[in-house]
Amino acid sequence: MKYKQKKVLIIAVSLTIAALFIWKNRCYIPIHSEKRGVFISYIEYEKYFKNKSADEIKIEIKNMIKKIKEYKLNMIILQVRSFSDAIYPSAIYPASISIVSKESDKLPLDILATFIEYAHASNIEVHAWINPYRIRTSTDITTISEKNPAYQWLNTNHVKVIPDKGIYYNPASSEVKELVLVGIHEIIENYQVDGIHLDDYFYPDETIDLENYQTVKDTISLTDYRLSQTNELVQSIYQLVKEKNSKIQVGISPEGNLENNYEKNYADVKTWLSKDGYIDYIMPQLYYGFFNETKPFIETLNTWKNLIKNDVILIPALALYKAGQVDSYAKKGSQEWLESNHIIENQIKVLRQNQDAKGFSIFRYDYLCDTTNQVLKEEQINLQKILNIQTN
């Protein structure tokens, strides 16, 4: 065979292989538009930032951004307020107790501003994640300083100490809702965040708002009342954000278990996904394996997908933290995360085949680095491989 014929044949074979590869790994979303998120929580702050100097924290943040870039992620869900406190200098909330020793201490660094600076320089979005109602996970009120807005409301209907659970703001209090809104306004007024993000913690227990409910109990059921309280907050946040800057996205990461959203958290996801004016993206916590007996991944994904009747974007959250662990809630599928090291990789493949999913988010940052178990290490390698596949 002549040289030119061989060359033509080689090129033809190469193109065929490439075409087959692209077809096999095809996706509906161009790689540059795929949302690739990662959660950074107060748990990371306690590990990497607690009681460190400004220079030390800057180095840690640079290293975190470097790691996120290595995975080719492009979206950070950054917890800016986890316990009625802040990771930035605030006129409303005290310094985060996950970073300083006491709330009365001063932050060594504006951590939100630093994340935004470093992340934006690397074309990575920063979404400010707040927990609107949680004040403490313990019941010790002595740790709440006078700088904390919760302090003035101790022993009132606005704040409740819940035995064996913690201290929480009352979701039915109009004053509490106003506090949440003022806190968000402070963020969007002073920082170039790309989004405001809420998690799944709405109603903390079944008694916190009963005093409020008494005034309307003859006109509305308790369930509908609680759903309306959450909807009022979410709608007000959306309106506030959009009036300030229409480009800032509003997102929520509710439980993947749809029933729990209505029976425990009072998160009215069906309304948010059918009516405009609540959220821009939904990030359900699909923390399930493919063989989860109660909530198998694909079936649960389809349930969420079918709820969307408006333009809300679906960006599921994935449970990298489960790699190498027993998942007892999965029943017959409890060993799946121990026996497979391709779960997150395969879930991303499923999402890329689904034109209604626009990406994913990993829970959480530390599991991109943790090498304490072999299955997790292998899952990390496979995750990096799937994120390095270039598709059209």
Residue 32 pLDDT > 60: no
CA distance 238 to 250: 6
Q: Residue 189: exposed, middle, or buried by beta-carbon count in 10 A (0-12, 13-18, 19+)? A: exposed
Residue 360, pLDDT score: 98
CA distance 96 to 265: 25
Residue 177 pLDDT > 50: yes
In this prediction, residues 308-332 reach a mean pLDDT of: 98
Using an 8 Å Cβ cutoff, are 273 and 312 in contact? yes
Residue 349 CB-half CA count within 13 A: 16
pLDDT > 70: percent of the chain: 91
**Range in 83-92, 121-130, 380-389 the model is least confident about:** 380-389
Express each pLDDT in 267-287 by its tens digit. Answer: 999 999 999 999 999 999 999
pLDDT > 90: percent of the chain: 90
Express each pLDDT in 87-116 by its tens digit. Answer: 999 999 999 999 999 999 999 999 999 999
In this prediction, residues 331-349 reach a mean pLDDT of: 97
Residue 372 pLDDT > 70: yes
Mean pLDDT (the chain, rounded): 92
Residue 265 pLDDT > 70: yes
Residue with the bigger pLDDT between 21 and 142: it is 142
Residue 18 pLDDT > 70: no
Q: How confident is the model at residue 198 (pLDDT cuts 50, 70, 90)?
A: very high
CA distance 235 to 23: 42
Alpha-carbon Rg for the chain, nearest whole angstrom, is 23
Residue 4, pLDDT score: 39
Residues in the chain: 392
User: What's the helix, strand, coil split of the chain in %, to 5?
Assistant: 45, 15, 40
CA distance 50 to 79: 15
Of residues 327, 332, 338, the one with CA closest to residue 379:
338
Residue 392 pLDDT > 80: no
Residue 30, pLDDT score: 41
Residue 33, pLDDT score: 85
